[in-house]
Amino acid sequence: MRSDDRRRQRQGAVRLLGGVPYPDPTTTLSLLPNAAIGEWLYEHRDRFAGHLLDVGCGNRPYASFYEPLVKEAVGVDATAGHGAAVLGFADRLPFADQTFDTVLCTEVLEHVGDAERAVDELLRVCRPGGHVLATVPYLYPTHEAPYDFHRFTHHGLHDLMVRHGFEVLSLEAKGGAGLLLAHFTVLAAIRATERLTAGLGRPDALATNRYLRACLWGPQEAFLRRRDARRPVRGTAELVSLGYMVVARRPRAVVDP
């Protein structure tokens, strides 16, 4: 498969609110899943250091968040774009062993045919003592079709990381039943908006879209003001969630006495 056969449908650049990388409503209609990721990244900002690799970076939406925290950041993606400095696939990364202190891999593993090999690659390019921060969907619609291959429970994600040599330091959920229901309600509203504006002339469509987009943002932002989007993996979040987020460390080499 050639790299130009694929197109990442990534969100626009985030907006930093109190340092937290929240999705920007001017570029992203559905705010809730990426709000969970943004809150999680901010909570684990101390894991960002040294040389960072953003795997499956798309247009590098989180660059404004992580660049001040690291010495150097490199984006790699399967298709050319303004965010990717290097072309490559997650299951065969074009970098030498132990090159990076931090590896970020958000919403990528579900799009890799061989996710097992991809996690091996994350370990290979990570330095001993370095960290991998990865997010995956669970109860989430098909996206970036036809390159959408996997869904991961929290048990499956934990097992995947451990089997490939990582120490799991933290595992959290992208919300529980409340966030899941809210997100699917937003998706239904987006589809209705698209149908409503499809038959309008261009001036009316643009004006109506601006109004309807604001109607979509408002309830989501109110939801986020009332509660955190991320959740510990317990209660309903252990059973149903939009996805899961893991912080893992490559163990340091054991030195014989």
What is the DSSP code string of 81-130? -SS-SEE-BTTB-SS-TT-EEEEEEES-GGG-S-HHHHHHHHHHHEEEEE
Supply the pLDDT for residue 204.
62
Give the model confidence (pLDDT) of 125-142 as tens digits.
Answer: 999 999 999 999 999 999
pLDDT given for residue 115 in this prediction: 97
**Which carries the bigger pLDDT value, residue 148 or residue 202?**
148
The percent of residues in the chain predicted with pLDDT above 70, rounded, is: 90
In this prediction, residues 121-125 reach a mean pLDDT of 98
257 belongs to a structural domain: no
More confident residue, 37 or 190: 37
- As a whole number of angstroms, the distance between CA 66 and CA 21 comes to 9
| pLDDT for 4 | 44
Dist. CA 31–CA 190, nearest whole Å: 12
Span 150-159, average pLDDT: 97
- Domain hosting 64: range is 3-176+229-249
What pLDDT, in 10s, does the model give residues 158-177?
A: 999 999 999 999 999 999 99
Please tell me whether residues 200 and 115 are part of one structural domain.
no
Whether residue 128 has a cis bond before it, omega within 30° of 0: no
Two tokens at 94? 């074009």
Specify whether 69 is located in the same domain as 187: no
Q: Does 26 share its domain with 117?
A: yes
C-alpha to C-alpha distance for 216 and 186, rounded to whole angstroms: 7
- Residue 256's pLDDT band, with cuts at 50, 70 and 90, is very low
> Are residues 151 and 44 both part of a single domain?
yes
pLDDT tens profile 79-110: 887 788 999 999 999 999 999 999 999 999 99
52/120 same-domain check: yes
- pLDDT, one tens digit per residue, over 206-223 is 566 777 778 888 889 888
Question: Is residue 255 assigned to a domain?
Answer: no
Q: What does the pLDDT look like over 53-68, one tens digit per residue?
A: 999 999 999 999 999 9
SS3 8: coil
pLDDT score of 116 more than 80: yes
Span 27-52, pLDDT tens digits: 888 899 999 999 999 999 999 999 99
Do 99 and 22 share a structural domain? yes
At residue 201, the pLDDT reads: 64
31 and 90 inside one domain: yes
Indicate whether this model's pTM tops 0.85: yes
Q: What is the pLDDT of residue 82?
A: 75
**Domain total of the chain:** 2
Residue 114 — φ and ψ, nearest 5°? -110, 80
| Residue 95 shares a structural domain with residue 157 | yes
Same domain, 187 and 151: no
Given a cut of 70, whether residue 248 has pLDDT beyond it is yes
CA distances, 152 to each of 68, 144, 170, 194, 240 (Å): 31, 17, 16, 30, 11
Within-domain flag for 220: yes
